[in-house]
Each structure stands twice: as structure tokens, then as C-alpha cells.
Amino acid sequence: MKNSRNQSKFGLVAGVLLALSVLLMACGDSTATTASTAAAGTTAAASATTAAAGATTAAGATTAAGTTAATATTAAAAGATTAAATGEKFKVAFVYVGPIGDGGWTFAHEQARKKLVETLPNVEATYIESVDENPTTSEAVITELAQKGNKMIFTTSFGYMDPTINVAKKFPNVYFEHATGYKTAANVAVYQVRQYQARYLAGIVAGKMTKSNIIGYVAAFPIPEVIGGINAFTLGARSVNPAAKVKVVWTNTWYDPGLEKTAAKSLLNAGADILGQHQDTPSILQAAQEVGKYAFGNDSIMESYAPKAHLASPYWDWSPYYIERVKAAMNGTWKTGDYFGGLKEGVVDLSPLNAVVPDDVKKLVDEKKAAIKAGTLDVYAGPYKDQSGATKVAAGATLSDKDITSINYFVEGVDGTIPK
Amino acid sequence: MSLKQRAAKELEIQKKLVGLPPRQIYPSTAFLAIITPILSILVALLIAALILFVSGRDAIFILSEIFRTSFIQNFAETVVKAIPLILAALGVALAFRARLWNIGAEGQFYGGVLASTGLALSFPNLPALVIIPLMVAGGLLGGALWGLLPGLLRAKLEVNEIISSLMLNYVALLLTDYLIFGPWKDPEGRNFPVTATFSDESRLPTLVEGTRIHFGLVFAIVAAGLVWLLVGRTKWGFELKVMGDNLKAARYAGINISRNIIIAFLLSGALAGLAGMSEVTGVAGRLQQNISPGYGYTAIIIAWLARLNPWAIIMVAILFGGLVSSGFTMQRVGVSSGLVTLLQGILLFCVLGGESLYRRLLYQAALRRSNLTKES
Amino acid sequence: MAGEIDVVQTLATTVAAGTPVLYATLGEILTERSGVLNLGLEGMMLVGGMAGFAATAVTGNVFIGVLVSLAAGAALALIHAFFACSIGVNQVVSGLSLTLVGTGIAAYFGRSLVGQPAADSFQTIKIPVLSDLPVVGPILFSQNLFVYFSFLLVPALYFFIYRTRPGLNLRAVGENPATADAQGISVVGTRYLYTMLGGALVGMGGASISLGSNPNWQENITAGRGWIAVGLVIFALWNPWRALVGAYLFGGLEALQFSLQVAGVPISSYFLRMLPYLLTIAALVFTQWRLKDQAGRASSAAPSGLGLFYLRRERG
């Protein structure tokens, strides 16, 4: 029996060690949090955070304020005075499909949420990330948010459409906003941005910069948003360079850095010297930088990952919309709607161009941008043909918003197929 | 009869070799069997509370909020989450009886989803009394079909079933993508990757008014009963157990191993397929991407923690349903999702550790007894 | 519309895409050779990748980053070793839990690293003379250091496992722990050692992504490669050379599906994406088929003690 006793003693020691290391990690964690807050604001803000957290703890669970990091940051931003006397804040919640660290889609929404709480100090905006699009999970999460006193809930992925509608029926006094979907109700609005406008501008840059006249495009899934983006990019490129072709490969994933890089390399190997993309990672930029070629970012500004290769990023700034809608909800002027904002509204833009882009191209992009903003240039205005050469949109005609959001064909100049 | 006797004899020898005296130790350890998981969970909660406390959060508030939300206010939602978990875990447990590692419950879940969706889309006009039994059969069959290949390969060629079943999970996901982006795309859906909404007749009825608890719960409970009967009360179940305890002994006893492996995989897959069918027709009402948030993988852990006991699986699955929602509740009150995942991992380790300590205590108790008998 | 496929470039992409998986596979081979089944590769790769990236960000030195990724992978593997070898938790379930823990740690501590460019990373180094060779030059000798190191690691591990005394002991512990124990080899100690060494390599596999092929940090940057490696171990029959073949096969299929798309081959991309998974199964079947007539099948190539808890039998 001696042996076994020794062994269990060893087990005990190891167990204690494990517990200790976990504790140490937790300590490291709390300092990390403080450090990042300090980096975001000031040291005063950091101490205010602690104070606010302490205050909430002291107040106990009576107020609905909770102990969220978001509350603390807001309190800190508003100054120390609010820490105790916040009272009722307007509670808003965001449901994210990916982690806020994805560097793309969810990252952009999270930036907008932060801007929202900075701009409207009386708003408490929490988020729940990595919520599966599975209806069991997402509907439960949205329900819980509605139960717990949120006045407004933003669901930021297409897959939340039915769950959002279902929950909205049960909570008529809560406002719901669903991104990229098409089902509305009295208390459910939908919103989307005209990504294609920025992609058209990117296409102009690509068309001007390409030497091989082969432009690659790494695309995630064949949904209208992506297909329309490829079309707009191609129309932009061919508006300045009719010989340019856009070669498309599908990855069938939003997020797989390794795979996306392989896809990018295959396009580079096929002679592409510029890469466009609709993915959530910067791997395409990195692949281009390795071989001295150029690429575009997507969803958020991805310049820092590959500054040499980065020509520009079409990116979305959701904050103007969020601020406007939350304000409306607070004033009681909120109405359901189908928002489709673009360059003009400031929710879509193309980031500043790489220094290697010649000045005349920069000027051209600025002009086109101004024209789109002024409404004198319509990206989807005819005439243009589809891949088979049949005229899709005649001269003088254009696409309706419904056509844009349900597009399912490639325009002439795209080299690739939509999987059917 | 002679088969059973021979196998029993084999088992007897086997147990003597390991030093486990048959049967008589179990009653005295029933208390241990119940108290260990409870203690493990308490220890895990304590560690979680400690970590939350150290990282500057109100641990008591957070833990009580979780309990209030997942197990009182929204208990119905927890049950809804548990339904596919119960069914898939039952399937996994069945295969585990024979020490077959079916990691493919996720793919088999999709097998059931695809079969029942195909039926619902093809026959939108059939009355519920016809289409629902049809979809149940389809779900079972779809799952079984997805389980067939790993079973067949294992039985005939000894291809490792962990890998073959795992690889088929990815294939099932891609096949689903292909269908919802292609042939099954809703014509009214503005080219988004969703199928048309199923007709009301082909939706599994709600069981409890005002909640989302659907008829799948009945499937789950009936399935638990059937698995319990099959494993505990039939010759085939006994054969599985023998195979799991000692494959050589089973072979010696003349059990048709390869046939049993195939049947076990078919049944295991069918149960996961039923889980998929009940999820897509009971909750979603249409097929979209990510219909399963990894039910098949969670099911493996559930089956193991429930010690493969069908009734325990129901309890553990409900606990896990709560655990999954508690992750989101924690995020709501400001704990980052990374920490949530970490805490869930720690919780698992605690429960697993407790579970294994319990097994060792059993073993040592047995050893002590056998030593005592030797001395006397 | 169909163009031709640039075979040389596709193969060069293959080697680059296969390398992270290769490291993870080699690590798991070491671990499994000692009789421990660790399914937590995905978690260890993520933690290794995150820690390596963080250390590089702090110190500015990629080599320190690699060392830290090794240590991080080993530290995480220690948890598994403890539960698997000291407590005797079921190793499949413990590995699944380890994946959760690793994913959580990487996500939590990596949060502030998201969006940061890499302070430094391993760039492509063209080896003089060799890289000018036709065909092999661009494929094998225009890669980064992670790739070159893996060229050395594979034969070294092979030699270690099959030709050295410690390698023999390692195999003995995995094959028949009781006999090894009787010969005076510490079963538990050996298993701890190789689980951690294996974990270190797996962690380095993560770093070969975050400091090599995709020099930045994002959550779940491995996107399931750890699981692929679990499969490749069996495909490789626990042999480092075959692991190399398997990893490149995986990388090759990944590269090929895009080459086919670019060349305009009209196969739905969903089915092309199934290829790596289906071919893994096919390769397993093929392996088993070939071994069918021989004395033992691949199941006997697996260390017999794999996944089983070894509890020393008390004497007296």
C-alpha cells in the first residue's frame, strides 16, 4: 500500500500546484485588464474603473447595472461623479457572431459599440460574442438580453434573422435591429451598408495598378453581399482598364487564415498582381507582401498587418448608424426601417491609399468618391453585361436596392463561377 | 445460452485477473457514486469563484445570476438545449459500451438534419400525421447512414473509427453548405443560404405551451428507455459489454464482433440523426448554416460523465444545457468569453478528476477486499 | 477558360501549408509513442501561437518567441499529463477538455494582441545555390526557417525513436508499460516527459503560423489544424517520415483545390473542400488494406498501451 499512498501524496501536491498556477494566471489577468484600460484612456480612468466596479459591488445586485466592463468604462469616461449616481442608464446590447478579436466583421462592430458609449455617456452597451447562429442558442441569448432590461438589441449577423423576429414578438417594448437581413416588424428594423461603393473605388485602384491585367479575388461564401462586391470591384477596375479580368476563388469559410493564404497564393501563382478579398483575416495581404505584390483589406482597416502590400481597405464604420438609432430610441422617435447607408452617410469608406499609388489615381478615386456621395455616380448604372455576354443592365438603367441585395450573377470580366 | 455462459466465465476469469471481485463491492459504494460528482462540481464552482474573485469580479453575484437565469427563469430554454444533447449522447454512449469511439456524432447529427430537411422540402403538403413519422424515419436513417461507413471500416479493416468518424463530420458540414447554397436555397430568400421555411405540418409540435420545449423531449426520454433496455436487458447489450470489457474474451466466447460493431455504429448514428431531425423541425423550422453548435462533441463528454447510464445522461445533458447558457450569461455580466471557455474547461477537469478518483477508490476498495479474502 | 496549373508553385505552397500541421503531428507522435493520447492539440497550438506572438511583441526577438511557444505548449501538456498519468482520467475526454482550456487561455490572454502587426517574424530565406536548382529549388529551398527546421526534425526524431536507447525506452513504455516498469523504467516519468516534449512541438506548430505563415494574432488562428494532425498521426502509423508525407498530402490538397478553381475546373468548390477529409479516410483504408495480409494490422502499429492509464500494481 506504500506505493499508492506515495502516489496520492504526489497527486495532492500536483493538485495544489495546479490550483496555484491557475490563481497566478487569474492575477496576471486582472493586471492585464487594468493595463489595457490604462492604455485606452488615462490612469485616472483606470482608477475610476476600479472605483466604479467597487461601487457596484457595494450597491449589490439591486440595480440592473451589473458589473460589466462596459459600465465601468462608461462611468470612467463620464467622470468620477457618475460612479455612484448613474441611476438608470439606457441599456443596449449587441450580439456578435464571431469573437471581437477576429480582426474583421465583428471587430468593426465592436469598434462602433465603443464609439457609441463614448459619444452617449448615458448608454450602457454590453455585448455577447461568439454566439452560434444555431437558432436554439441565438434565440435563447437574445431572449435573455431582452428579459434583463435591455431596451435595444442589435443582432449583427444574417443567421440571427428568424430568432430576432421570434424574440421581438415576445418583447414588443424592446427595439431590435438586425444586420444584413430582410425581415422587419413593428419593433424590428434591418440595416446594411453599401459595401459595393467602397469596393468599386478599390476596383478603380486595382484596375490602374495592375500590370498583368489579372486581378485576384479571394471570396468567402457565394451570398449576394459577396457576389455584388465582386461585381462592383470588377466594374470599377474595368471602368479604368477594360482589359482587366478579376479571377475569383471561393474558400467557403469566413475565417481560416491558413486556407485563405493558400488561396491567395494560388491566385498569385496564376499571374495575379493585385488581390481583392472578402474574408475576415489579413492573410491575403500577407501573402501578397511576401512576393512584393499588392492587396486590399476588408471590413476594417488592415494596413498594419502588411503596410507595403496594403493598397487600401474598404471598411465599414457602423457607429453613425448606431448612435443615430440609439438616440432615436432614447427620444422615443425610433421607427422600424430598412437602412442601406453608403459613402454619403459615412458608414462605408475606402481607407487612405498606399503611398505607391500615383497621384492621378488618388485624384481619380477622390473624384469618384465625391461623385458617389453627390449622387451623380451610380456604381451599378448600365450598360453592362453578365459573364455570358448578355446585357444585364441597359444604358440608363440601374439596379434597385432589392436587386442589389439579392444579386446572383457575375458581370462580364469576372473569371470564376458561382457554385450552384 | 451456452454463449452467455462462456462469456460469463471469461468475464469471471478476467475479473479475477484484475483482482475485482464480482458484484459485492457495488452496494457499499453507491454513496460514493453519488457524492463524487456533487463534490467535484462544488470544487469546480469554488475554483471558478476564486478566479472570478481574484480577477476583480463579484463572484457570488455572477454565480447566483447564472443559477437564476439558466435553472429557474429560463429553465425551459435549458431543456430545449438538452434535447439534442441527450439524443446524441445516448448514441455515443451506446458505441462506447463496446469501446467504440464514435467522435462522429456531429456528422451523424447532420445526416439526420439533411434527410429530414429533404423530406420536409419535398413534401410540403403532407399532413403532420404522415410527414412527421416519415421525417423521424428519415432522421434515423440519415444518421445511421453517416455512422455506417466508420462502423463498416472498423469492422472489416480495423480502420481507426476516431479518425474516420471525425473526418466525416467535416464532409457533412460541407455537404450541408453545398445544399443550402445550391439546390435547397430558398427561392424567396434573396439568395441567402437558407432553405424555405418548413410547412407548419412538418414542424415538431410544441410540448409545453409558452416555451420552446418540443416533442423531441419525448423522443429523448423514450430513446433513453430503449437504450437502457437494450444495453441492460438483452443478449446483444450483454455482448456489447463483453466486447467493451475485453475484446479477446468476446472473440473467444464466439461473439460476432464485426456484426456488432456495425450495428452499434448504425444505432449510434441513428440516435444522433434523430437529434438532428428534432432540432431542425422542432426549433429552427428551416435549415441554415451552423445548425449545430457542436452538439456531437459535447455529447461525448456528457456520455462519459454520465458513466454511459441513459438516465444519468438526461440529468447531465440538462446540466450541460445550463452550462452552455451560463457562458452567455457570464458574458452578459461582463466576463469575457475567453475566460468563460477557460472556466468551462476547468469545470470539466474537476468533474473528470473526481470521476477518476472515484473509479480508483472503487478499485482500491476492491483490491483491499480481495487481499482480505486471500489472507483469510 | 481552363488554364494550366503551375505544378512547382503549387508544390511550394503545399510545403508551406503542411508545415504547421507537420509540427503538431510530430509532437503528437512523441506523446502517443509513450502511450498517452492527447487530443488537445488544437488548444496547445493556439496557446503556443499566442504565447510565441506575445513574447515576440514584448522582446522583439522571434527566437525568444519560439522558445516561449515551446514552453507554453509543454505547460499545457503538463495539465494533460497530470490528469492522464497521475489521476487516470479518460484520455479522450481529458484531451477534449484541454482543447477548451487552451482555446480559452489563447482567446483571453491574446485579446490585446489582436490587430497588432508582428514585431518580427520568420521571412522566406532563399538558400544560396540550392534555391536556384530547378523544381526542388523553389519547392524546398525558398521557404522560412520553420520549414527548414522541420526538414532536420523529421530524420532526427526518426533516429531518436528507432535507433537510440531513450527512444527504445519510450517505445517500451508505450507498448508494454508493465514490462518497462519491471525493467526499471519509470513509466509515469517517461510519459510526463514525452507528453510535455510533444506538447512543446505542438506549441511550436502554433508559432509556425503566428510567427511564420500568418504573422499576426487572431482568435482561433489555427482553424482546426490541430484536429487534422490527430488524424495524420494514425495515417503516419506513428512514424515521423510518414508524418511528413501525410502533412504534405494535406497541404497539397489544400493548395490543389485552389489551383483547380483557378484553372477553371468545373467542380463545385464544396466538393473540392471535402477532398482532404475523404482522402485521409482513403489513406487509412489503403494502409489497412496493405497490412491485411501481413501478420498484424495498423492497430498493432499503434502503441499497445495507448490511451490506457497505467497504475502500478502494488506488491505484497
Query: How far does the CA of residue C287 sit from the closest CA of chain A (Å)?
Result: 27
CB A33 within 8 A of CB B335: no
| Interface residue C93 vs chain B (CB under 8 A) | yes
C-alpha cell at C172: 517500451
Rounded Cα–Cα distance for residues B301 and B317 (Å): 10
Query: How far does the CA of residue B257 sit from the closest CA of chain A (Å)?
Result: 37
C-alpha cell at B209: 405551451
Kind of pairing between the strands at A274-278 and A294-296:
parallel
Mean pLDDT along residues B53-74: 88
**A301 and A371 co-located in one domain:** yes
**A249 and A174 co-located in one domain:** no
Residue C221 backbone dihedrals phi, psi, to 5 degrees: -65, -25
Write the CB contacts of C177 (distance below 8 Å, at least 6 apart in sequence): C35, C187, C305, C308, C310
| Interface residue C304 vs chain A (CB under 8 A) | no
DSSP secondary structure string for all residues of A208-253: HH-SSSEEEEEES---HHHHHHHHHHHHHHHHH-TT-EEEEEE-S-
pLDDT at C283: 79
Instruction: Give the C-alpha distances (Å, rounded to integers) separating B303 from B293, B298, B321, C229.
Output: 17, 9, 14, 25
Which among A328, A348, A368 is the end of a domain? A348
C274 — pLDDT class (breaks 50, 70, 90): confident
C-alpha cell at C149: 527546421
**A388 and A282 co-located in one domain:** yes
B117 — pLDDT class (breaks 50, 70, 90): very high
* Nearest alpha carbon to residue C233 among C16, C14, C23: C23
Q: Give the H or E element holding residue C306.
A: none
Q: So what's the ipTM on this one?
A: 0.88
CB B263 within 8 A of CB B285: no
A34 — pLDDT class (breaks 50, 70, 90): very low
Q: Give the H or E element holding residue B202.
A: none
**A366 and A228 co-located in one domain:** yes
Going from N- to C-terminal start, the domains of chain C cover 7-301
Mean pLDDT along residues A20-38: 39
In DSSP terms, which residues pair with A127 in a beta bridge? Answer: A94
Lowest mean pLDDT among A282-286, B176-180, C69-73, C107-111: C107-111
Q: How many CB pairs below 8 Å do chains A and B form together?
A: 141
Write down the mean pLDDT value for chain A.
82
Q: Sign of dihedral through CA atoms B81, C46, C96, B336? A: negative
Q: Which residues in chain B have Cβ-Cβ distances shorter than 8 Å to C299?
A: 158, 160
| Interface residue B348 vs chain C (CB under 8 A) | yes
B28 — pLDDT class (breaks 50, 70, 90): very low
Query: How far does the CA of residue A404 sit from the closest CA of chain C (Å)?
Result: 24
- Quick one: CA torsion of A214, A219, A223, A229, rounded to 10 degrees? -50
Work out how many domains chain A is built from and give that number. Answer: 2
**A150 and A298 co-located in one domain:** no
* Contact across the interface for B348 and C88, Cβ inside 8 Å: no
Nearest to B357 among C87, C92, C235 (CB): C87
Q: Give the H or E element holding residue A129.
A: none
Rounded Cα–Cα distance for residues A9 and A89 (Å): 53
pLDDT at B318: 94
Mean pLDDT along residues A220-245: 94
| Interface residue B333 vs chain A (CB under 8 A) | yes
C89 — pLDDT class (breaks 50, 70, 90): confident
Residue A10 in this model has a pLDDT that exceeds 80: no
C-alpha cell at B194: 437558407
* Contact across the interface for C218 and A25, Cβ inside 8 Å: no
Rounded Cα–Cα distance for residues A259 and A241 (Å): 30
**What does the pLDDT look like over B327-369, one tens digit per residue?**
899 898 888 888 888 888 888 888 888 877 777 777 777 777 7
Write down the mean pLDDT value for chain B.
86
Chain A CA closest to residue C250: A259
pLDDT at B352: 82
* Nearest alpha carbon to residue A399 among A388, A386, A387, A389: A386
Mean pLDDT along residues B203-215: 91
Q: Let me know the angle formed at the C-alpha of B199 by B198 and B201, rounded to the nearest 5 degrees.
A: 125
Query: How far does the CA of residue B125 sit from the closest CA of chain C (Å)?
Result: 31
pLDDT at C206: 96
Instruction: Give the C-alpha distances (Å, rounded to integers) separating B264 from B82, B153, B244, B360.
Output: 23, 13, 12, 29
B10 — pLDDT class (breaks 50, 70, 90): low
Rounded Cα–Cα distance for residues A382 and A31 (Å): 58
**What does the pLDDT look like over B277-327, one tens digit per residue?**
999 999 999 999 889 988 998 898 889 888 889 999 999 999 989 888 888
Q: Which residues in chain B have Cβ-Cβ distances shorter than 8 Å to C105?
A: 338, 342
DSSP label at residue A186: T
Residue C192 in this model has a pLDDT that exceeds 90: yes
Which of C287-290's residues contact partners 24+ apart within 8 Å by CB, and which partners?
A: C287/C235, C287/C237, C288/B153, C288/B157, C288/B158, C288/B159, C289/B157
Residue B191 in this model has a pLDDT that exceeds 80: yes
| Interface residue B353 vs chain C (CB under 8 A) | yes
| Length in residues, chain A | 420
Say which residue, B60 or C272, is predicted with more confidence: B60
* Contact across the interface for B192 and A158, Cβ inside 8 Å: yes
Residue B208 in this model has a pLDDT that exceeds 70: yes
Q: Sign of dihedral through CA atoms B269, B270, B273, B274? A: negative
| Interface residue C136 vs chain B (CB under 8 A) | no
| Interface residue B343 vs chain C (CB under 8 A) | yes
Interface mutation target, options A37, A63, A137, chain B, most CBs of B under 10 Å:
A137
**What does the pLDDT look like over A367-392, one tens digit per residue?**
999 999 999 999 999 899 999 889 98
| Interface residue B329 vs chain A (CB under 8 A) | yes
| Interface residue C261 vs chain A (CB under 8 A) | yes
B 20-49 near A (Cβ less than 8 A): 47
CB A98 within 8 A of CB A79: no
* Nearest alpha carbon to residue C118 among A268, A267, A283: A283
Helix axes C187-207, C225-235, angle to 10 degrees: 130
Query: How far does the CA of residue C264 sit from the closest CA of chain A (Å)?
Result: 7
A40 — pLDDT class (breaks 50, 70, 90): very low
| Interface residue B54 vs chain A (CB under 8 A) | yes
pLDDT at B6: 59
Query: How far does the CA of residue A295 sit from the closest CA of chain B (Å)?
Result: 27
CB A151 within 8 A of CB A128: no
**A273 and A339 co-located in one domain:** no
Nearest to C104 among B177, B178, B339 (CB): B339
**A265 and A167 co-located in one domain:** no
The counts of H helices and E strands in chain A are 14, 16
pLDDT at A91: 95
pLDDT at B367: 73
Interface mutation target, options B63, B170, B186, B190, chain A, most CBs of A under 10 Å:
B190
Mean pLDDT along residues C50-79: 96
* Contact across the interface for A134 and B332, Cβ inside 8 Å: no
DSSP label at residue C87: I
DSSP secondary structure string for all residues of A73-106: HHHHHH-TTHHHH--PPEEEEEE-SS-GGGSSHH
Mean pLDDT along residues B54-61: 85
DSSP label at residue A153: E
Query: How far does the CA of residue B240 sit from the closest CA of chain A (Å)?
Result: 32
pLDDT at C271: 85
| Interface residue B336 vs chain C (CB under 8 A) | yes
| Interface residue B170 vs chain A (CB under 8 A) | no
* Nearest alpha carbon to residue C209 among A241, B272, A266, A281: A281
**A122 and A208 co-located in one domain:** no
* Contact across the interface for A103 and C114, Cβ inside 8 Å: yes
Q: What is the CATH number of the domain that holds A234?
A: 3.40.50.2300
Give the burial string for B86-125 (b: 16+ CB within 10 Å, else e): bbbbbbbbbbbbbebbbbbbbbbbbbbbbbbbbbbbeeee
Residue A111 in this model has a pLDDT that exceeds 50: yes
Lowest mean pLDDT among A29-43, B84-98, C84-98: A29-43
In DSSP terms, which residues pair with A128 in a beta bridge? Answer: A95
Q: Give the H or E element holding residue C130.
A: none
Rounded Cα–Cα distance for residues C209 and C221 (Å): 8
pLDDT at C199: 97
pLDDT at A48: 36
C-alpha cell at A375: 449622387
C-alpha cell at B234: 438483452
pLDDT at A336: 95
User: Which subunits count as partners of chain C given 3+ CB pairs below 8 Å?
Assistant: A, B
C-alpha cell at C11: 508544390
pLDDT at A25: 45
Chain C CA closest to residue A265: C13
pLDDT at A313: 95
Rounded Cα–Cα distance for residues B308 and C297 (Å): 29
Mean pLDDT along residues A137-157: 95
| Interface residue C112 vs chain B (CB under 8 A) | no
**What does the pLDDT look like over A63-101, one tens digit per residue?**
333 333 333 333 333 333 333 345 689 999 999 998 887
Nearest to A259 among C10, C112, C254 (CB): C254
B263 — pLDDT class (breaks 50, 70, 90): very high
* Contact across the interface for C10 and A256, Cβ inside 8 Å: no
Chain A CA closest to residue B341: A130
Q: Could you tell me if residue A8 is inside a domain? A: no
Instruction: Give the C-alpha distances (Å, rounded to integers) separating B251 from A71, A80, B289, C287, C289.
Output: 65, 76, 44, 24, 22
Say which residue, A14 or A371, is predicted with more confidence: A371
Q: What percent of chain B has pLDDT over 90?
A: 45
* Contact across the interface for C270 and B171, Cβ inside 8 Å: no
Write the CB contacts of C159 (distance below 8 Å, at least 6 apart in sequence): C167
**What does the pLDDT look like over C204-244, one tens digit per residue?**
999 999 999 999 898 888 988 998 898 888 778 899 999 99
Q: Is B23 left (phi over 0), alpha (psi -120 to 50) or beta?
A: left
| Interface residue B344 vs chain C (CB under 8 A) | yes
* Contact across the interface for B170 and C107, Cβ inside 8 Å: no
C-alpha cell at B89: 449522447
| Interface residue B154 vs chain A (CB under 8 A) | no
**What does the pLDDT look like over C9-47, one tens digit per residue?**
889 999 999 999 999 999 999 999 999 999 999 999 999
| CATH class of the domain defined by C7-301 | mainly alpha
Write the CB contacts of B104 (distance below 8 Å, at least 6 apart in sequence): B146, B147, B150, B161, B164, B165, B166, B168, B169, B269, B296
Residue numbers of the domain that contains A320 = 68-77+87-193+316-348
| Interface residue B211 vs chain A (CB under 8 A) | no
Rounded Cα–Cα distance for residues A313 and A351 (Å): 5
In DSSP terms, which residues pair with A191 in a beta bridge? Answer: A179, A339
Mean pLDDT along residues B105-115: 97
Q: Which residues in chain B have Cβ-Cβ distances shorter than 8 Å to C108?
A: 336, 338-339, 341-342
* Contact across the interface for B290 and A56, Cβ inside 8 Å: no
Query: How far does the CA of residue C275 sit from the closest CA of chain B (Å)?
Result: 9
Rounded Cα–Cα distance for residues B110 and B101 (Å): 18
A12 — pLDDT class (breaks 50, 70, 90): very low
Kind of pairing between the strands at A310-312 and A175-179:
unpaired
Q: Which residues in chain C have Cβ-Cβ distances shorter than 8 Å to B352?
A: 83, 89-90, 93-94, 97
Instruction: Give the C-alpha distances (Å, rounded to integers) separating A288 from A221, A310, B164, C11.
Output: 21, 9, 36, 18
Say which residue, C282 or A172, is predicted with more confidence: A172
C-alpha cell at A66: 451589473
Helix, strand or coil, per DSSP, at residue C257: helix
pLDDT at A21: 46
Q: Could you tell me if residue A222 is inside a domain? A: yes
C 6-35 near A (Cβ less than 8 A): 6, 9-10, 13, 16-17, 20
* Contact across the interface for C314 and B157, Cβ inside 8 Å: no
Q: Which residues in chain A have Cβ-Cβ distances shorter than 8 Å to C108?
A: 29
| Interface residue C224 vs chain A (CB under 8 A) | yes
Mean pLDDT along residues B240-260: 89
Residue A411 backbone dihedrals phi, psi, to 5 degrees: -80, 170
Nearest to A269 among C6, C219, C264 (CB): C6
- Cβ atoms within 10 Å of A249's Cβ, excluding its own: 23
| Interface residue C186 vs chain A (CB under 8 A) | no
Write down the mean pLDDT value for chain C.
87
